[in-house]
Structure 1
Amino acid sequence: MVGWKMMKITAETPIVNSNNLILAAERTHRRDPTNNFRYYIGGWNPSNPHYLFSACYASLGPFLVTVLWFIVFALWLFCMCMCCCCGSRHTYGYSQTAYTLSLTFLVLFTLAVIVGSVLTCVAQARFETSVGNLISYILHRADTVAISLMDLFNNILAAKDVGIQNIILPEKQRNDVEQIQNKINGVYHSFRDITTKNGNGIISWLNPLKLILTTIAAIMIVVALLGLVFSVIGVECLVYSLAMVGWIIVTITFIMSGIFLLVNNLVGDTCTAMNEWTQNPTADSIIENIVPNVDNHITRQILSATKDVTYGVIEVANTYISNVSNANGTSNTSVLYYNQSGPLVPFLCNPYNKDGTDRQCAPNEVNFKNASQVWEKHVCHVSFTGSCDTPGRLTPTGYKQIITLVNVSSGLYDGIPFVIELMNGTFLTKTLFDLSKDFCSGLEEYSEWVYFGLITSSTMLMLLLVQWIIYSKQRKRRAYTKKIDAILYWKQVSC
């Protein structure tokens, strides 16, 4: 059992220099049976067959033991049956010590099988919970992307048709809106498709695995208890029949332990890869198979277009303030005159220049947070003719329209930091850091628990099968000896 575990620990050798980050290079430095047993040096890469074959080779121990057990026990059981059928059925004399030890080992091995099976079930349940939490977190992060992108998408759609009176969004920004819609929609579906596919893929093998493990554990407990009962009461034919069933169960359990050793290796490789990637974030990394990273060129286009549209929407609002609200005309000089008067309406701060660079707000400008409160003070009371009959430069209708522009531009502006996170990899780095920090330890620990539970129960059941037959022989000799002794005793008494 120690030897199997040691197969997971690989020799440390120098890693080949590369411009790309090779993830979990030392941990995945294993022999590759498909490459003349040379060491695999490609690092963590589930899409690489050589990586998968090297990981399988490192988990080969239990499978070799399975083959050995299947053949050796079959031959031994056959020999025992032949001896039972062809040899002498009655052997006088037995060792009380040997009988007591065989009974003691019979009970101890039975208890060990039960403990190993219970450990397997408990570990499997905790492993399943850990995997479920992992999937939930990944889907939650994907939903975060989806919700943020949809909010940005909706604000972009709203920006396309914004306007107040005859002032509308310039043609350039309207074209940006049409182009960015498809890009945002593509990014949204990319996140949802990859994460949903990965989540469904994990669940698709997790449910059958749970059923197999719990079924095997239950059968092992039943077989162990029945074997104990049949051995103690001396039903030798049932003991041999049950030994054949146990022979198959042990074989299956060893196979499952090999599978979970492989799972433990893959989980450890993945966690190491995530941890190394968070320390050295690299674009176009294979780590994106877990959580997709957005193409940098696409995010730059989304960012540039969003800034441009934000700038354009704010300019629509400020143009209205400049040309209409703050205009001092007369009813004879302007069709936009509605008797506006009083203090000038402050402009809305535009956080960007026309070229998309950041811009500092002027002292007399309002921002997204206080625009509605400040501008509300400039709203006049409107008569039935639509003109202001109290001091003010904004009609209630104009105020609502300009606030709509503020809400749209504010929504676009608030969505930009998230786009930047996608662009510079901050979102992906945070996600993988959380996965490595909060979920990996549980996955590795509980997959190892399942492995040890399977190894323990299968090894103990293997010894228990042998012990059934040994104890049956001891019990048979003891019963025959006592029978002969009783006959001799009564003969002496009768004489």
Structure 2
Amino acid sequence: MDPCGVGGAVAVFVLVLSIALSEAAVPTLLGRGEGIGGKGIGLEGEELSPWAKGLLKLTSGAPGPEAMAPDGRFPLILASKRTRRPDALNSFKLYEGGWNITNKHYWASVAFTGAPGVVLAALWFVSFGVALFAHFCCTRRRGKEKEGCFYTEHISLVLLLIFTCAASIGCILLSIGQGEFHNEALNTLDYVVNQSDFTVQILMNVTDFLFFAKTINVEAVHLPLDVQDQIDKLSGDLNDAASALSEKTNENAIRIRRAVGDVRYTLIAVASLMLVLALVGFVLAILRFKHTIYIFAVSGWLLVAITFVLFGIFVIIESAAADTCTAMDEWVRYPHAETALSSILPCVDERTTNQTLYQSKEVVRQLVNIVNTAIYSTTSNSSSHFNQSGPPVPYLCSPYDSQLNDRPCEPWEVSITNASVVWQNYTCRVSDSGSCTTAGQITPDTYSQLETAANVSYALYHYAPLLLNLQDCKFVRDTFSSLTTRYCPRLDLDLRLVCTGLALIAVGVLLCLILWIFVYANRPQREEVFVRSSSSGASRIAPVTASP
């Protein structure tokens, strides 16, 4: 059992978990043209620069309207009260930088919370080792053991029973706590992974629809070539972002699950060994098996030291987790503050967000114009393969006017949500030569092109708000809010339960060891008591039988 290895795995879990929370919003990094690499969560050295120019900036030379000035940003130290701890890297002065996982002084202050466990482990290991060595030396020099008085033995027995019960209760609490922590940690991980998968799915859907937008060609009406080139570049960037996010999330999920599993097995092993040690040691002490007690005492000496170290590690984890939850809660409540999370989640400002919204609306309006131009061209065509006896084809409704404000649909327009269904009623059947044989204004080929254009328009209209939520960190704030309200309280309770169990086990077994060695190991074994009693009885009887 390697407590340092376990502690390292769990520490990695806390760090990866806090970073994994931000992975649900990896696309927000793109808002300022930053590469997904460089923060440890994506492709290294690659930059997705088109996002810096606006998420769907597919038009040329069409700057957006002047946006409202962003709210004034003010500095905010996250979890400032919780993180005021001595900093070992700064002469043990109080750390005042708040929650910041990129600051080594923050981690030094967090590590200081686990110092009592490590110090207790070192003091116990040295002091008990010295006392045990001195005890052996004194016992050899004495050459014999003294029997204790009646009251001393009974008081020692009561104390031993109390300490054994305390250690047993600690084992039970540790078993319950580790089980709850294991389940809650995996539930939290599943939630974060689901949020990440949701983000990936959005990016992949937008990528697919942007590809379809490039192929739209309704009766020789299509997007300009420069717009198609920008679509190619943006689609590639979106696909890279989705692939990087999915790959990194899966890697982190595997590592976290493995670390949580290792922690669980370690804690189960500690609880089991300590419970067996306490109960068997209690029985051996009562029966006064001196040499066996010494063997258990040496084993307990090492296990108590390990338990103290584990206690210190879990105190560090509990402190870091509580700091992270507090920081997330404060970040959600103060969305315009400049915090340590700003370097991890560089959400774009309001001006950039408005520009992105403008560009996405402009693309939707252009696609609607393409469709309506194609409908007009088709229905006004007098060529023989069109049957003009059918009802006129309704135009596609643009959800935005020329100023890109929301507008209602006119009675002669069809909404982009059900345009493909409505246009089926205006489709004719064609012969082998391609001429319409039934009433209808559009051919099946034209209908297919119109349907694709309408679906792409609807997709961009539908996904633009979701993408903006990623860009302005609203999606991440919602994720953090759910984590702080639904998962953080349970994780904090479970970690406290684990720490309490480890503390009870360490203290209980420690006191039991002291009684085993310095009280019960000094008592003569039962065989020695029986021999001494028999010898003293025989010496009293011998003179009587020898008298004449």
Query: Aligning the two structures, in what range does the TM-score lie when normalised by the shorter sequence?
Result: 0.7 to 0.9
Measure the CA separation in 1 of the matches of 2:452 and 2:197.
27
Residue 113 (1) aligns with residue 161 (2)? no
In the other structure, the counterpart of 2:178 is 124
Q: Aligned partners of 1:168, 1:107: CA distance in 2, in Å?
A: 86
User: Residue 196 of structure 2 aligns to a residue in which SS?
Assistant: helix
CA shift at 1:38, angstroms?
A: 2.0
Change (3 A) 1:41 1:257: same
String of CA shifts for 1:308-347, please: whole Å, max 9, x gaps: 433333222111111112x16365xxxxx62323432111
What are the equivalent positions in structure 2 for 1:363-378 lying under 5 Å apart?
363-378=411-426
Residue number among 279, 303, 322 corresponding to 1:268 in the alignment: 322
Indicate conservation of the 8 Å contact 1:120/1:450, yes or no: yes
Using the TM superposition, give the Cα deviation of residue 44 of structure 1 relative to its aligned residue in structure 2, in angstroms. Answer: 0.6
Q: Is 1:429 the equivalent of 2:477?
A: yes
1:137 aligned residue (169, 175, 191): 191
For residue 355 of structure 1, report the CA deviation from its aligned partner. Answer: 6.6
Matched, 1:52 2:100: no
User: Which letter maps to 2:387?
Assistant: N
User: Which of these residues, 195, 210, 219, is aligned with residue 156 of structure 1?
Assistant: 210
Q: Which moved more, 1:228-237 or 1:424-433?
A: 228-237
Partner residue of 1:85? 140
Structure 1 residue 295: deviation in Å? 5.3
Q: Give the residue type in structure 1 aligned to 2:174.
A: T
1:405 lines up with 2:458 in the alignment:
no
Where 2:395 maps in the other structure, the secondary structure is coil
Counterpart check, 1:218 vs 2:272: yes
CA contact (8 A) 1:156 1:181 kept: yes
The structural deviation recorded for 1:260 is 0.5
In 2: Cα distance, 1:418 partner to 1:366 partner: 24
User: Does the C-alpha gap of structure 1 residues 389 and 74 become closer, same or farther in structure 2, counting only changes over 3 Å?
Assistant: closer
- Which of the numbers 423, 445, 452 marks the counterpart of 2:500? 452
Equivalent pair of 1:117/1:221 in contact (CA under 8 Å): yes
The sequence identity of aligned pairs, in percent, is: 31
Paired residue type of 2:236? N
Q: Distance in 2 between matches of 1:383 and 1:205?
A: 66
Post-superposition offset of 1:289: 8.4
Question: Per the alignment, do residues 383 and 211 of structure 1 end up closer, same or farther by CA in structure 2, a change over 3 Å counting?
Answer: closer
Q: Does 2:300 correspond to 1:246?
A: yes
Task: Please tell me whether the aligned partners of residues 184 and 302 of structure 1 are also in contact (alpha carbons under 8 angstroms).
Answer: no
Q: Please say if residues 299 and 419 of structure 1, whose CA atoms lie closer than 8 Å, have aligned partners that are also in contact.
A: no
State the 1:89 CA deviation.
Answer: 0.3
Question: Alpha carbons of 1:90 and 1:133: their partners in 2 closer, same or farther (altered >3 Å)?
Answer: closer
User: 1:314–1:406: 8 Å Cα contact kept in structure 2?
Assistant: yes
The aligned counterpart of 2:333 is 279
CA spacing shift, 1:359–1:190, aligned 2, 3 Å: farther
Q: For each residue in 1:111-155, what CA deviation from the matched residue of structure 2 results, as whole angstroms up to 9, or x when unmatched?
A: 332321232122112112111111111111000000011001000
> How far does residue 461 in structure 1 lie from its aligned partner after superposition?
0.6
C-alpha contact (below 8 Å) 2:331/2:337 kept by paired residues: no
* TM-superposed deviation, 1:48: 0.7
| Higher mean C-alpha displacement, 340-349 vs 191-200 | 191-200
> 1:69 aligns to what?
124
Q: Where does structure 1 lack aligned partners over 5 or more consecutive residues?
A: 1-17, 332-336
Distance 2:227 2:359 in 1: 8
Residue of structure 2 equivalent to 1:329? 382
SS at match of 2:414: coil
For residues 119 and 383 of structure 2, the distance between their equivalents in structure 1, rounded to whole angstroms, comes to 97
Change (3 A) 1:205 1:432: same
Asked if structure 2 preserves the Cα contact closer than 8 Å seen for 1:162 and 1:313, the reply is no
Number of the residue aligned with 1:12: none
Offset of residue 46 of structure 1? 1.5
The answer to whether the Cα contact below 8 Å between 1:113 and 1:457 also exists between their aligned partners in 2 is yes
Distance 1:201 1:484 in 2: 63
SS of 1:476's equivalent in the other structure is coil
Alignment-derived partner of residue 15 in structure 2: none
Asked if the contact 1:177–1:309 (Cα under 8 Å) also holds between the matched residues in 2, the reply is: no
Q: Relative to structure 1, is the Cα distance of residues 85 and 105 closer, same or farther in structure 2, using a 3 angstrom cutoff?
A: same
Residues in 2 aligned to 1:209 and 1:450: alpha-carbon distance in whole angstroms: 11
Aligned pair in 2 of structure 1 residues 74, 100: CA closer, same or farther (>3 Å)?
same
**Match for residue 416 of structure 1 among 455, 464, 473:** 464
| Cα 1:70–1:63 shift into 2, 3 Å | same
- Asked whether the equivalents of residues 117 and 308 of structure 2 are also in contact (C-alpha less than 8 Å), the reply is yes
Rounded Cα–Cα distance in structure 1 between residues aligned with 2:469 and 2:114: 39
* TM-aligned CA deviation for residue 72 of structure 1: 1.6
Per-residue deviation, residues 171-230 of structure 1 (Å, max 9, x unmatched): 343233123213323442453355445545534543333333222222222322332333
2:238 is the alignment partner of 1:184: yes
Shift in alpha-carbon separation, 1:338–1:52, aligned structure 2, 3 A: same
Are the counterparts in 1 of residues 156 and 519 from structure 2 also a CA contact under 8 Å?
A: yes
Structure 2: which amino acid aligns with 1:145? T
How many residues align structurally?
470
For the 8 Å contact 1:246–1:461, the answer to whether it is kept is yes
Instruction: Find the partner of 2:386 among 323, 334, 338.
Output: 338
Match of 1:25 in 2: 80
C-alpha distance after superposition, 1:349-403 (max 9, x if no partner): 1223567554443332110233234323323344554333444312233223322
**Alignment gaps of 5+ in structure 2:** 1-72
Structure 1 residues 342, 97: closer, same or farther in 2, change over 3 A?
same
Query: Would you say the 8 A contact 1:173–1:308 is kept in 2?
Result: no
Distance 1:97 1:200, change over 3 A: same
Range that drifts further, 112-121 or 200-209: 200-209
